Amino acid sequence: MEHQPRNPSFAAEIKQSFAKQKIMALIGAELTRVEPGVVEITLPYRAELCQQHGYLHAGIVTTIADSACGYAAYSLMPEDSEVLSVEFKVNLLRPAKGELFVAVAEVIKSGKTLTVVRADVYGLDQSGRREVIATMLGTMICLS
Amino acid sequence: MEHQPRNPSFAAEIKQSFAKQKIMALIGAELTRVEPGVVEITLPYRAELCQQHGYLHAGIVTTIADSACGYAAYSLMPEDSEVLSVEFKVNLLRPAKGELFVAVAEVIKSGKTLTVVRADVYGLDQSGRREVIATMLGTMICLS
Amino acid sequence: MEHQPRNPSFAAEIKQSFAKQKIMALIGAELTRVEPGVVEITLPYRAELCQQHGYLHAGIVTTIADSACGYAAYSLMPEDSEVLSVEFKVNLLRPAKGELFVAVAEVIKSGKTLTVVRADVYGLDQSGRREVIATMLGTMICLS
Amino acid sequence: MEHQPRNPSFAAEIKQSFAKQKIMALIGAELTRVEPGVVEITLPYRAELCQQHGYLHAGIVTTIADSACGYAAYSLMPEDSEVLSVEFKVNLLRPAKGELFVAVAEVIKSGKTLTVVRADVYGLDQSGRREVIATMLGTMICLS
């Protein structure tokens, strides 16, 4: 899908905004890709992010997927906008195992008020082999 | 709704399992209510859990709601079960403001394999006044 | 929850709009309750609405739940608004058996642009005993 | 994605089952593609399937998407299985306009008990130009 940004400085603004999301520093997530309509966030495994079986907690999977979706939506919004999550649904497809987790979000439909975004979250093992562990389908709103 | 537990030691097991969810310690969440079909998790506000506007990140709202839903489901499962999240949907109803956040989960339908759970997440201000900030509808699976 | 309507003629407008939803006539659904923030739609069982096992098709369960949610949202919108469904999630809790099906929708959060609504769909047997067969959580948008 | 069917007669069984879904005859839907993990259902526009603005009702959009998802899941299940919808979420991306509507479902993750499926629903105009009008993300269960 071709995505046309309306805000020429979207990438710089997303990086600034991401730096203000203190939760990203707490869990150790990094913004690893910012393109029109597509944003990727990467999170190395840490035991303290896990649930009782040692897998990444579904809420942390959601945390990186939601931020990736929000910024993917934001990348197509006009200048001086703000983005908020309206709702999302997450299907947990496999136990969240991996050395590294990557959430890749892409805009499905960009509207004036609402943007619908999908994200897949992958777990990568030491050899770099990746498997989808979760998928999100969400709605973001543009406030301006 | 009346909920009949099948595992007499469900409350002790939930407390043990919660203590193993390292993410709960990282964010500072506590298990504050465990009853048949109903579980509550409480999280004090901390700036490092927030997104760019200073509100609790939707992923952290989800983290406490998902654990509350999982344990609410687990409270009605037979002994020697394990619970995993299949999927959930979250509607963010208001900006996640508050001194304290409380996720209250209640089982809607408990089946042999799947359990459907709803959770409301409240933000409480300094005076103790509470507002719903999010609601989750999710599906949990019993592995045994 | 107390709901304050802003459009004094909401009930008449909902009845008019419902009468224009030709799909409601096709399946035999009726509008059986219209109050501020709460709308109910009733559908008698008919074999031609069913899936392969003789249960009401999940899409028809959704059809009455979605219209009930849309009108519940509309009941709190200002005059000269239009309502559209943004998204919904449905959990199918039990096989959709019954002589009669009733979808009861209630607004959870009414905002200027978006309204979040929940609906439960019940199946009633010949003796009038009812069981929840599905629950919807959805988002509606106000166009004006 | 490569999908390996375990039931050699899946296509014939899906056609038989579809023929028993009386709701498909009522609305005029046809099964137009059955492959391992992929199922397509086509529905011509009819005014009596519409809501108050003359668009296809979201519940009917859901009806064809849900059946397509269920059969896509079923195509990968073992012999003598039955499939039921556990839950689905639908985002309505554009007004459901068109001469013809096509729901294309594809399995994302096929498990022993649960299968996760995505469907896109397209509206086609008279020239055959198509636009996505809705997307579904759902969970199906295998009963055997």
**What is the rounded CA–CA span in Å between residue A91 and residue C37?**
30
Q: Which residues of D touch A108 (CB under 8 A)?
A: 91, 93, 132, 135
B3, B110 contact by CB (below 8 A): yes
The total of other beta-carbon atoms located within 10 Å of residue C131's CB is 14
pLDDT digits 0-9 by tens, B77-120: 999 999 999 999 999 999 999 999 999 999 999 999 999 999 99
Distances in Å between the alpha carbon of A43 and those of A62, A64, B90? 12, 8, 22
Q: Do D113 and B89 touch (CB under 8 A)?
A: no
Q: Do B60 and A92 touch (CB under 8 A)?
A: no
Subunit partners of chain D (3 or more CB pairs within 8 A): A, B, C
Residue B2 is predicted with a pLDDT of 79
* Averaged pLDDT of chain C: 97
**What is the rounded CA–CA span in Å between residue D124 and residue C72?**
31
Q: Do D52 and C87 touch (CB under 8 A)?
A: no
Residue B51 is predicted with a pLDDT of 96
Q: Do D50 and C92 touch (CB under 8 A)?
A: no
Write the residue in B25, B91, B95 that is nearest to A87 by C-beta.
Answer: B91
Instruction: From A144, A118, A122, select the one nearest A131 (Cα to Cα).
Output: A122
Q: Do D86 and B139 touch (CB under 8 A)?
A: yes
Residue showing tokens 């409270």: B75
Q: Which residues of B touch C132 (CB under 8 A)?
A: 108-109
pLDDT digits 0-9 by tens, A96-141: 999 999 999 999 999 999 999 999 999 999 999 999 999 999 999 9
Structure tokens at B68: 């509350």
Return the percentage of chain C with pLDDT > 90, whole number. 98
Helices (H), A22-116: 22-27, 58-74
How far does the CA of residue B107 sit from the closest CA of chain D (Å)? 16
Beta C82-92 vs C114-124: how paired, if at all?
unpaired
Q: Do D62 and C64 touch (CB under 8 A)?
A: no
Beta C30-35 vs A114-124: how paired, if at all?
unpaired
**What is the rounded CA–CA span in Å between residue B68 and residue B85?**
11
Q: Taking the CA of residue C107 as centre, how many other CA atoms within 13 Å lie in the half-sphere pointing to its CB?
A: 25
Mean pLDDT in residue range B1-11:
91
C76, C6 contact by CB (below 8 A): yes
Got the DSSP string for B13-56? HHHHHHHH-HHHHHHT-EEEEEETTEEEEEEE--GGGB-TTSSB
Q: Which residues of B touch A85 (CB under 8 A)?
A: 58, 92
**What is the rounded CA–CA span in Å between residue B81 and residue B71?**
12
Helices (H), chain D: 10-20, 22-27, 58-74
How far does the CA of residue B57 sit from the closest CA of chain D (Å)? 23
**What is the rounded CA–CA span in Å between residue C39 and residue D108?**
36
Q: Do B47 and A22 touch (CB under 8 A)?
A: yes
- To test the contact with chain D by mutation, choose from C60, C94, C101 the residue with the greatest count of D C-beta atoms within 10 A, namely C60
Of all residues in chain A, the one with the smallest CA distance to D138 is A91
- To test the contact with chain D by mutation, choose from A88, A92, A109 the residue with the greatest count of D C-beta atoms within 10 A, namely A109
E strand or H helix at B73 = helix B58-74
- To test the contact with chain B by mutation, choose from D82, D84, D87, D136 the residue with the greatest count of B C-beta atoms within 10 A, namely D87
Residue showing tokens 């899409």: C59
How many helices (H) and strands (E) chain D has is answered by 3, 6
Model confidence at A144, in pLDDT bands (50, 70, 90)? confident
**What is the rounded CA–CA span in Å between residue B66 and residue A91?**
12
How far does the CA of residue C53 sit from the closest CA of chain A (Å)? 27
Chain C residues with CB under 8 Å of a chain B CB are 89, 91, 93-94, 108-109, 116, 118, 132, 135, 137, 139
- Which residues make beta-bridge pairs with D43? D101
Structure tokens at B97: 């403001």
How far does the CA of residue B78 sit from the closest CA of chain A (Å)? 18
**What is the rounded CA–CA span in Å between residue D97 and residue D51?**
11
**What is the rounded CA–CA span in Å between residue B139 and residue B87?**
5
Q: Do A86 and C139 touch (CB under 8 A)?
A: yes
Model confidence at C1, in pLDDT bands (50, 70, 90)? low
Chain B residues with CB under 8 Å of a chain A CB are 17-18, 20-23, 25-26, 47-53, 57-60, 62-67, 82, 84-92, 95
Distances in Å between the alpha carbon of A100 and those of A15, A22, A94, A123, C100? 21, 20, 15, 6, 51
Helices (H), chain C: 10-20, 22-27, 58-74
Q: Which residues of D touch B139 (CB under 8 A)?
A: 86-87, 139
Q: Do A114 and C86 touch (CB under 8 A)?
A: yes
Residue C144 is predicted with a pLDDT of 84
Structure tokens at B99: 């001194």
C38, C106 contact by CB (below 8 A): yes
Of all residues in chain B, the one with the smallest CA distance to C120 is B108
Cβ burial of C16 (10 Å; 0-12, 13-18, 19+) is exposed
Write the residue in B94, B132, B137 that is nearest to C89 by C-beta.
Answer: B137
Task: Give phi and psi for D24, each to the nearest 5.
Answer: -65, -40
Subunit partners of chain A (3 or more CB pairs within 8 A): B, C, D
Q: Do A91 and D116 touch (CB under 8 A)?
A: yes
Q: Do C139 and B109 touch (CB under 8 A)?
A: no
Q: Do A91 and B89 touch (CB under 8 A)?
A: no
**Which positions of chain D have pLDDT values less than 50?**
none
Instruction: From A32, A110, A29, A38, select the one nearest A62 (Cα to Cα).
Output: A29
Q: Where are the extended beta strands (E) located within chain C? A: 30-35, 38-44, 82-92, 100-110, 114-124, 130-143
A76, A3 contact by CB (below 8 A): yes
Structure tokens at D103: 């729901």
Single-letter amino acid code for the residue at B130: R
Q: Do A114 and C141 touch (CB under 8 A)?
A: yes
Mean pLDDT in residue range C82-97:
97
Of all residues in chain C, the one with the smallest CA distance to D139 is C91
How far does the CA of residue C107 sit from the closest CA of chain B (Å)? 12
Residue B144 is predicted with a pLDDT of 84
Displacement of CA C144 from its chain's centroid (Å): 22
User: Is the model's pTM score more than 0.90?
Assistant: yes
Distances in Å between the alpha carbon of C54 and those of B46, C64, C96? 53, 18, 9
- Which residues make beta-bridge pairs with D3? none
Structure tokens at C44: 């008698």
The total of other beta-carbon atoms located within 10 Å of residue C7's CB is 18
pLDDT digits 0-9 by tens, C104-133: 999 999 999 999 999 999 999 999 999 999
Distances in Å between the alpha carbon of D76 and those of A43, A92, D71, D114, D121? 33, 19, 9, 11, 21
pLDDT digits 0-9 by tens, A13-68: 999 999 999 999 999 999 999 999 999 999 999 999 999 999 999 999 999 999 99
Q: Do A91 and D135 touch (CB under 8 A)?
A: no
